[in-house]
Amino acid sequence: MAVEDRRRVTTRLGILQYLIVVLFSLLAVSFWVLQIVEHAKFEELAENNHQRTLALRAPRGLVFDRDMKVLVVNRQSFSISIVREHTKDMNRTIRLLAEVLGYDEAGVRAVVDRHRREPSYRPITIVQDATLQQVAAVTARRLDFELPDVVVEQVPTRQYPATMAAHLFGYVGEVSDAQVSDSEGLKSGDVVGQAGIEKVYNAMLMGEDGAKRVVVNSVGREIRTLDEDEPMEGKRLQLTIDYDVQKAIEDGFDQLGFNGAAVILDPSNGDVLGFTSRPAYDPNAFAAGIDRATWASLTGDEDLPLSDRAIQGRYSPGSTFKMAVATAALQESVITPDFKVHCSGGATFYGRPFKCWKKGGHGTMDLRHAIEQSCNVYFYTIGNMTGIDKIHKWATLLGLGEKSGIDLPNELTGLVPSPEWKQARFKEKWYAGETVSVSIGQSSVAVTPVSMAVYASTLANGGTRVTPHLLKAVDDGTGWKPVAPPAPRSKASFDPEKLQAIRDGLFLVVNGAGTGHNAQLKGYDVSGKTGTAQVISNQGKERAGKTDKDLRDNGWFVFFAPRDNPQIAGVVLLEHGVHGSNAALIAHHLLDTYFAKKEGRPLPPKPEFKANLVP
Amino acid sequence: MFERRLYYHIDWALVVAILALCWLGVIMIYSTTSDPTRGTSHMYVTQLYAIALGLVAMVFTLTLDYRTFADKSHLIYIALCALLLYVLFFGMVQMGARRWIPLRVFNFQPSEFAKVGVALVLAKFFGENRGAAAWTDLAVGGVLTLIPIGLIAKEPDLGTAVTLVPVFLAVAFLAGMRMRILGILCVCLLLASPVAWKFALKDYQKSRISTFLDPSQDAKGAGYQQIQARITVGSGGLKGKGFRQGTQGQLRFLPVAHNDFIFSVLAEEQGFAGVLVALGLYLFVILRALEAARLSKDRLGSYLVLGVLASFTFQVVYNITMSAGLAPVKGLTLPLMSYGGSSMIATLAGFGLVLNVRMRRFTN
């Protein structure tokens, strides 16, 4: 090589050599900055990159009946959600997902928009109870990396016994925004009880969601689990409900086809043995998120299936109120059980005629037979003698006109009128004539079925106004702990002899010449009283011009059994049931079931009493 | 032919350093591609075969005198251009580019061998001239480089095409191209870049560059890889997360971790310590090769070594910079470490020439 060439090559190679060394030094410094100086920052970013915390839904606590028969369980359902954190193109995701699910694109978009403000790592649930086809379709797309931002989760979902005590169980649903801000510990997306015991005992039933820290890859697929915080199942509840009694009530209503309500209590402590409100809804429809159409049909139904008639329905008690008047007259010593009144089919009070339901009149009779025959004139007379204040006092002590305090949400108060009430409400004086109407349960007297059940219990147990309750025991995983029944609302000291006269009258209603024959059960001394309350006045009937069904009278049957040592008390109300004796049919079936079970006899078969119906 | 004494002049230090880098590469390929939960992948085995084939190629390129190769360089050059043309029409399409000729064992990628071919032909061309290269020489050399560049860019494989530019620049520089001309060339390239931006670059290429300038503008799209690369490297720390313990590479936050981003994975799993070792090995290889250029007994040898070294160095520096998220993402592999048969064989064959020049510095 020529010298000049050699020199040039050497020089220029030298330049290149320095250049290379400088470049590599720069590289080394860059890596030093990234890996040493800024290490902490990038380490955190890497952690966030590959770790996700997933919520594990806690199953809600199971619900049992008083004999530990399972009533409410959980099943596994699949939910399909979008996690926006992984979304690259939301429009594309929505379009694809809607296509895969067979949904309307606008509907999916609306759901996503509703949750837009939530943190992007929180899944937005699109389908709550997905079909297996939907799950399969979405999973296939996920494997193709087409929907990396869509997750399929298994969630425990409530399952209720079909068409049974819907209003008692209530239903669950996604927590509302108002509920989130009202109570601590709830977060958007939680499923909480929205009605019934699901709502009242939500805190117990809910359990604690667990969490799972998982490693995910760049498309959000889970690779492995780092650690897992098992979800804590909600507490198990034992209810006071007796499945067989409940079933008997439901069968009875199914058989008769009326709307209405029934509440059955243990008069000694207020345990609710059976509870129903008709028409009912299917709580299962809510369990995995109710669809719009079902919701609309429930809320738009004129029969109001969502309202709980047992605690929210207020009805005129009719003749069933007569025991309250009798109690007031006896306890205030206005009359004795032997006090007699002559009924000639009607009587005049304060210049106004009041009719008895029996045109020819009942003749002369004492209290026992007045109850048996449900003679209006007798009760007009003693009610008028007793006065509204005392009737109000004793009706209240028996459980009417006040909330029963049952552990269900949104109980309404009935009404037993009083001069104070009238003054406050209408700024009008009480007229003595109104007392006469009140004496047979007319005028503005209004009661809820649950308060009627308390009323029956108080008559049965001799003056203790028990608080109806549904919760019998709780198991938080460490064994069952009984829940003490709530204290009685009041305890009146009833004179046993006077009370016995009323009970005798009620016994005769069922077992004598009264209207309660349908409830008769040999050997169990069923005692009760029918009530048939006009829904609308006769004049009103003509004006209204509605269908006959809407105008038929409501039928009541309040009862307890056996007469002298009552173990069960309650009420059955049939809306437009024509007559209280129809309600007694259901009472008969449930009492038959109750005693058969108690004594270990085979339970009676499903009733067939359509034929016995009073048209 | 091969004389026995030449054996003693083989630069064993360079060979060892090269093999060390290959070994590092195999380890990282094993780490990123074999996933126990998904069955084992045999990519690292394929890579071992490629290394073996590469070593055979290396023995071949150092056995014959490099001057013999240089004498045949025009034939080699023409054959390569023909292959590149063939690929353009009959090549196998993968990932939207026509770059490969499918062979039974692996897919042969002619553009990798074009680097060595261009180095040979340029060394021969400039080596025949005495004194500083003239304008005309530069023009001819430029055209010789541009033909394969054009063919490769057409595949399209802009990344590999660009690696040929340093080959020309380095050889011309060593052949005495005036500094002023070099400056002018650089200015021309700079001036051409807006034109290239407008006409020559595809949309995805534009977005890669614009996101490089501000990765956060498209954190899920094109900027994603760059951000992930930085996170991968940065989270490695001093000692790294350990072999196969890297979360970024293992969980595929980085695309083609065994290929373009293998250095990122090394940085993540072996930490700054591993980075220094790898950087040191590469620096050693490059400086050692530069020494071979300096020691060469003739211009041809010097030019040839530098030509081979130019594309190698360019690719190493660019890939490592990109691995740290400090350069736009480009499909440029890391020679000796990245997965890829053609690249490995061509690179080892190139180093065979480097060894060849060094060990024949005493012969005539």
Of A36-45, A468-477, B87-96, least confident by mean pLDDT is: B87-96
Q: Which phi and psi (to 5°) does residue B287 adopt?
A: -65, -35
Structure-model confidence comparison of residues A573 and B214, the more confident one: A573
In the predicted model, what is the mean pLDDT of residues B229-236?
Answer: 86
Cβ <8 Å between A31 and B283: no
Peptide bond into A488 cis (omega under 30): no
d(CA A493, CA A331) in angstroms, rounded, equals 9
Residue A506: band (very low, low, confident or very high) from pLDDT cuts 50, 70, 90: very high
Closest chain A residue by Cα to residue B361:
A1
Closest chain A residue by Cα to residue B179:
A12
In the A/B pair of chains, how many CB contacts fall below 8 A? 135
CB pairs under 8 A, 24+ apart, for A541-549? A549/A576
d(CA A451, CA A456) in angstroms, rounded, equals 9
Check residue A477 and give its pLDDT: 86
d(CA A491, CA A138) in angstroms, rounded, equals 63
Closest chain A residue by Cα to residue B289:
A17
d(CA A314, CA A446) in angstroms, rounded, equals 5
d(CA A240, CA A466) in angstroms, rounded, equals 14
Check residue A474 and give its pLDDT: 94
Cβ <8 Å between A43 and B235: yes
Determine contact: B220 vs chain A, CB below 8 A.
Answer: yes
Q: What is the 3-state secondary structure (H, E, C) of A439-462?
A: CCCCCCCEECHHHHHHHHHHHHHC
Alpha carbons within 13 angstroms on the beta-carbon side of residue B192 total 8
Reading the block at residue A440, the tokens are: 């047979």
Cβ <8 Å between B132 and A43: no
In the predicted model, what is the mean pLDDT of residues B319-346?
Answer: 88
Q: What is the 3-state secondary structure (H, E, C) of A464-484?
A: EECCCECEEEEECCCCEEECC
Determine contact: B271 vs chain A, CB below 8 A.
Answer: yes
Cβ <8 Å between B290 and A16: yes
Alpha carbons within 13 angstroms on the beta-carbon side of residue B331 total 16
d(CA A404, CA A415) in angstroms, rounded, equals 13
Residue A415: DSSP 8-state: B
Are A446 and A414 in contact, with CB atoms under 8 Å apart? yes
Check residue A539 and give its pLDDT: 47
Are A74 and A248 in contact, with CB atoms under 8 Å apart? no
Are B31 and B269 in contact, with CB atoms under 8 Å apart? yes
Q: Which residues of A touch B298 (CB under 8 A)?
A: 1
d(CA B118, CA B79) in angstroms, rounded, equals 12
pLDDT > 70 fraction of chain B, expressed in percent and rounded: 82
- Nearest residue to A391 (alpha-carbon basis) of A440, A327, A444, A479: A327
Q: Indicate if the pLDDT at residue B40 is higher than 70.
A: no
Cβ <8 Å between A35 and B132: no
Whose structure tokens read 């004389």? B3
Q: Which residues of A are catalytic?
A: 319
Across chain B, which distance is largest between two alpha carbons, in Å?
Answer: 63
d(CA A560, CA A570) in angstroms, rounded, equals 6
Residues facing residue A174 across a β-bridge: A191
Check residue A571 and give its pLDDT: 96
Determine contact: B245 vs chain A, CB below 8 A.
Answer: no
Q: What is the CA radius of gyration of chain A?
A: 35
d(CA A98, CA B105) in angstroms, rounded, equals 45
Q: Which phi and psi (to 5°) does residue B323 adopt?
A: -60, -30
Report ipTM for this prediction: 0.90
In the predicted model, what is the mean pLDDT of residues B328-353?
Answer: 90
Q: Indicate if the pLDDT at residue A391 is higher than 90.
A: yes
Check residue A240 and give its pLDDT: 95
Q: What is the CA radius of gyration of chain B?
A: 20
CA dihedral sign of residues B27, B31, B33, B34: positive
Across chain A, which distance is largest between two alpha carbons, in Å?
Answer: 152
Closest chain A residue by Cα to residue B228:
A46
Write the pLDDT tens digit of every residue in A406-459.
Answer: 999 999 999 999 999 999 989 999 998 899 999 999 888 999 999 999 999 999
Are A275 and A264 in contact, with CB atoms under 8 Å apart? yes
Distance from CA of A275 to the nearest CA of B (A): 55
Check residue B252 and give its pLDDT: 65
Write the pLDDT tens digit of every residue in A191-221.
Answer: 889 999 999 999 999 988 888 877 776 666 6
Residue B239: band (very low, low, confident or very high) from pLDDT cuts 50, 70, 90: confident
Pairing of strands A363-365, A272-278: unpaired
Determine contact: B218 vs chain A, CB below 8 A.
Answer: no
d(CA B351, CA B284) in angstroms, rounded, equals 13
Buried b (16+ CB within 10 A) or exposed e, A62-71: bbbbbeeeeb
Check residue B2 and give its pLDDT: 56
Q: Indicate if the pLDDT at residue B165 is higher than 80.
A: yes
Distance from CA of A116 to the nearest CA of B (A): 19
Q: What is the 3-state secondary structure (H, E, C) of A64-88?
A: ECCCCCEEEEEEEEEEEEECHHHCC
Buried b (16+ CB within 10 A) or exposed e, B126-142: bbeeeeebeeebbeebb
Residues facing residue A214 across a β-bridge: A52, A225
Element of type H or E holding A43: helix A39-50
Are A404 and A497 in contact, with CB atoms under 8 Å apart? no
Of A544-548, B5-9, B11-15, least confident by mean pLDDT is: A544-548
Cβ <8 Å between A36 and B238: yes
Reduce the DSSP state of residue A128 to 3 states and report it. coil
Q: In the predicted model, what is the mean pLDDT of chain B?
A: 83
Cβ <8 Å between A46 and B232: yes
Closest CB to A217: pick one of B174, B251, B324: B251
Q: Which residues of A touch B176 (CB under 8 A)?
A: 5, 8
Q: Where are the domains of chain B?
A: 10-32+42-359
Contacting residues for A468 by C-beta, under 8 A, at least 6 apart: A263, A265, A270, A272, A404, A405, A406, A450, A453, A454
Q: Indicate if the pLDDT at residue A174 is higher than 60.
A: yes
Task: Residue B242: count other Cβ atoms within 10 Å of its Cβ.
Answer: 12
Residue A464: band (very low, low, confident or very high) from pLDDT cuts 50, 70, 90: very high
Pairing of strands A236-239, A63-64: parallel
Q: Indicate if the pLDDT at residue A312 is higher than 60.
A: yes
Interface mutation target, options A24, A26, A145, A221, chain B, most CBs of B under 10 Å: A24
Domains by residue range for chain A, with CATH: 53-239 (3.90.1310.10), 243-285+308-612 (3.40.710.10)
Cβ <8 Å between B235 and A45: yes
Write the pLDDT tens digit of every residue in A93-104.
Answer: 888 888 888 888
Q: Indicate if the pLDDT at residue A548 is higher than 60.
A: no
Residue B214: band (very low, low, confident or very high) from pLDDT cuts 50, 70, 90: low
The distance of Cα B128 from the centroid of its chain, to the nearest Å, equals: 26
d(CA A263, CA A451) in angstroms, rounded, equals 9
Reading the block at residue A140, the tokens are: 């296939």
Closest chain A residue by Cα to residue B233:
A35
Q: What is the 3-state secondary structure (H, E, C) of chain B?
A: CCCHHHHHHCCHHHHHHHHHHHHHHHHHHHHHHCCHHHCCCCHHHHHHHHHHHHHHHHHHHHHCCHHHHHHCHHHHHHHHHHHHHHHHHHCEEECCEEEEEECCCCEECHHHHHHHHHHHHHHHHHHCCCCCCCHHHHHHHHHHHHHHHHHHHCCCCHHHHHHHHHHHHHHHHHCCCCHHHHHHHHHHHHHHHHHHHHHHCCHHHHHHHHHHHCHHHHCCCHHHHHHHHHHHHHCCCCCCCCCCCCHHHHCCCCCCCCCCCHHHHHHHHHHHHHHHHHHHHHHHHHHHHHHHHHHCCCHHHHHHHHHHHHHHHHHHHHHHHHHCCCCCCCCCCCCCCCCCHHHHHHHHHHHHHHHHHHHCCCCC
Cβ <8 Å between B130 and A215: no
Residue A250: band (very low, low, confident or very high) from pLDDT cuts 50, 70, 90: very high
Reduce the DSSP state of residue A33 to 3 states and report it. helix
Task: Residue B192: count other Cβ atoms within 10 Å of its Cβ.
Answer: 11
Q: Indicate if the pLDDT at residue B155 is higher than 90.
A: no
d(CA A461, CA A268) in angstroms, rounded, equals 6
- Residues in chain A whose beta carbon is closer than 8 A to a beta carbon of chain B? 1-2, 4-5, 8-10, 12-13, 16-17, 20-21, 23-24, 27-28, 30-32, 34-36, 38-39, 41-43, 45-47, 49-50, 88, 215-219, 223-224
pTM of the complete model beyond 0.90: no
Residues 13-42 in B contacting A (C-alpha not used; CB under 8 Å): 37
d(CA A277, CA A259) in angstroms, rounded, equals 8
Element of type H or E holding A331: helix A322-331
Whose structure tokens read 């949904």? A103
Reading the block at residue B330, the tokens are: 């480009």
Closest CB to A28: pick one of B37, B238, B276: B276
Contacting residues for A274 by C-beta, under 8 A, at least 6 apart: A165, A241, A242, A245, A246, A248, A249, A262, A263, A264, A570, A590
Using CB atoms within 10 A of its CB, is residue A493 exposed (0-12), middle (13-18) or buried (19+)?
exposed
Q: Indicate if the pLDDT at residue A282 is higher than 60.
A: yes
Determine contact: B320 vs chain A, CB below 8 A.
Answer: yes
